[in-house]
Amino acid sequence: KRVDYSARTVISPDPNLDINQVGVPVHVATKLTVPDVVTQRNLEEMRKLVVNGPYQHPGALYIIRPDQKRIRLEFVTDRTLIAQSIEPGFIIERHLKDGDIALFNRQPSLHRMSIMAHRVKVLPYKTFRMHLTVCPPYNADFDGDEMNLHIPQSKEAQTEARMLMQVQDQILSPRYGAPIIGAGKDYISGAYLLTRQGMMLTADEVGKIIAYTGYEGEIPKPTVLDPKPMWSGKSVFSLFLPSDFSFVSRANICMHCPECKEAECQYDAYVMIQEGELKTGVIDKNSIGAERAETIFHRVIKDYGTDAGHDFLNGVSRLINGFLTLKGFTYSYDELELAEKDQRDISRVMRRMEKNVEKLTEEYTTGVLERLPGQTLQESFEIKVMNELAKARDKAGETVQEALPM
């Protein structure tokens, strides 16, 4: 490797981690060290680490005496005896443990968020683990990508990393001011399914889902009491909103109707939060997605700070994981099959497009095609054909979107 106090291996996802944690294999944690000064307060803990030695985690690799002589514990036969000789002022180069600060990097390093500070979580197996919402700033995915881990050695470097480089302090991109970290993929699907109209949960389901999140507050009153107490998905989602938070936006499923009915929207696309309670609308990527400005996530960070944003994203992502684990996310082939009427409408659009392209082709070959300003005849032909194809694609997409169930 090119630098000391570093490690490199393949990355894999772990949705159970905190967004600012990095899962470090035990094998790596026993090779990389952090120097700890022995004090009266931590004396017994340091002695236990010395007794464990280099091969049992948590342990230690070296003892540095006040006269700067190093003792390599790998070659010490009676570590219990040498552990008793340790006094305040000695330095123990110990294994990594949970909570240590580490710098995590994926190459190529293209912007400042390509290297951020994470807290170590020692885990089994042999890959680095990371939370899925932190992938965008690293431009990381899980098809074999490898990442680098660097361990700051001095207290100054560790403190600087904690104060300046932790993930929650890098959420807002300096390029466009919006959160570069946020929900994607299953989190978006799960948020939509949880908050859509008609999603009701029993007390048992609510308890199981919330157990995933570590939430310790009060459970809201049931949305309905008859025939039995049930909670809406919206009320469960609201548990992770600040109590005085208000917000209005439109969901990604908004059909852009000529006259917006707002809270009465038939598609439930009008997102309205009042005093920390989601009243109407579904939560999708317009509300919690990565690289989008003025989302709920963005507003929480701006109004309440990065620590509140960290807690919100952690809570919501775990809530959605719990919901999807309990309820599942699947569909049948029938849900993807268009009715004959819709298929005929799309075929009609395609035939019209083909006729228009044939007409453009004939005009081009005969040289009578009207040129666009600043374009050659061939460029004008290509642009007009692309426009026809795009119009047909958009019209077919609208037909499919209206036909398939939400």
Q: Is the pLDDT of residue 391 over 70?
A: yes
pLDDT at 211: 93
Beta-bridge mates of residue 178: none
Whether residues 276 and 315 share a domain: the answer is yes
Question: What is the count of structural domains for the chain?
Answer: 3
Residue 1 lies inside a defined structural domain of this protein: no
Q: How far apart are CA 71 and CA 69, in angstroms?
A: 7
Q: What is the CATH number of the domain that holds 52?
A: 2.40.40.20
Domain co-membership, 340 together with 295: no
- Compute the distance between CA of residue 191 and CA of residue 361 in angstroms, rounded to an integer: 47
H helices within 141-294, ranges in order? 155-164, 186-195, 203-211, 233-237, 285-288
pTM of the model: 0.84
Mean pLDDT, rounded, of the chain: 94
Q: Which residue type does 214 have?
A: G
* CA quadruple 246, 252, 257, 261: dihedral sign: negative
239-297 tens-digit pLDDT: 999 999 999 999 988 888 888 888 888 889 999 999 999 999 999 999 999 999 999 99
- Asked whether residue 273 falls in the same domain as residue 237, the answer is yes
* Segment 162-196, tens digit of pLDDT: 999 999 999 999 999 999 999 988 999 999 999 99
CATH number at residue 393: 1.10.132.30
Q: Are 101 and 117 in contact (CB under 8 A)?
A: yes
- Element housing 320 (H / E): helix 306-327
Instruction: For residues 118 and 216, state if they share a domain.
Output: no
Helices (H), 243-376: 285-288, 296-304, 306-327, 340-366
Cβ of 396: how many Cβ atoms within 10 Å? 17
pLDDT average, residue stretch 380-387: 97
Based on the domain organization, do 316 and 340 belong to the same domain?
Answer: no
Q: Do 207 and 151 belong to one domain? A: no
Q: What is the mean pLDDT of residues 70-92?
A: 95
Tell me what pLDDT residue 172 has: 94
Residue-wise pLDDT tens digits, 200-213: 999 999 999 999 99
Structure confidence at residue 406 as a pLDDT band (50, 70, 90): low
* Residue whose pair of structure tokens reads 């001011």 in the numeric block: 177
Positive or negative, the Cα torsion across 265, 271, 274, 277?
positive
Residue 405 has pLDDT above 80, yes or no: no
- Asked, for residue 100, whether it belongs to a domain, the answer is yes
The answer to whether residues 364 and 397 belong to one domain is: yes
Instruction: Answer whether residue 52 is part of any domain.
Output: yes
Q: What is the mean pLDDT of residues 11-40?
A: 97
Same domain, 117 and 193: no
Contact 289, 295 (CB under 8 A): yes
pLDDT at 267: 85
**Which CATH number do you get for residue 295?**
1.10.274.100
Residue 84 inside a domain? The answer is yes
pLDDT value of residue 1: 65
Structural domain for 238, as ranges: 189-327
Say whether pLDDT at 235 is over 70. yes
240 Cα distance to chain centroid: 16
| pLDDT for the residue 18 | 96
Question: What residues pair up with 64 in beta bridges, in sequence order?
Answer: 70, 91
pLDDT of 366 over the 70 cut: yes
pLDDT at residue number 258: 87
Whether 32 and 160 share a structural domain:
yes
Q: For residue 178, what pLDDT is reported?
A: 93
Q: Is the pLDDT reported for residue 343 higher than 80?
A: yes
Find tokens 């426009």 and name the residue.
387
Are 213 and 136 found together in one domain? no
Residues 116 and 218 placed together within one structural domain of the fold = no
> Does 238 share its domain with 266?
yes
Between CA 84 and CA 92 the distance in angstroms is 13
Q: Please tell me the predicted confidence (pLDDT) of residue 2.
A: 82
Q: Residue 330 has what pLDDT?
A: 86
DSSP 324-339: HHHH-----GGGGPPP
Last residue of some domain: 327, 351, 372? 327
Q: Residue 67: pLDDT above 80?
A: yes
> Per-residue pLDDT averaged across 334-352, rounded?
92
Amino acid 14: pLDDT: 96
362, with CB counted inside 10 A (0-12, 13-18, 19+), is exposed
- Please check whether residue 181 lies inside any domain of the structure: no
Torsion angle (degrees, nearest 10) of CA 92, 94, 99, 100: 80
| Residue 310 near residue 155, CB atoms below 8 Å | no
Q: Measured in whole angstroms, how far is the alpha carbon of residue 395 from the centre of its chain?
A: 33
Domain end point (choices 170, 200, 230): 170
Task: Indicate the residue among 135, 170, 205 that finishes a domain.
Answer: 170
Is there a domain that residue 75 lies in? yes
**How confident is residue 137, by pLDDT bands cut at 50, 70 and 90?**
very high
Q: Does a structural domain hold residue 179?
A: no
Looking at the domain assignment, is residue 266 inside a domain?
A: yes
Could you tell me if 282 and 273 are in contact, meaning their C-beta atoms sit under 8 angstroms apart? Answer: no
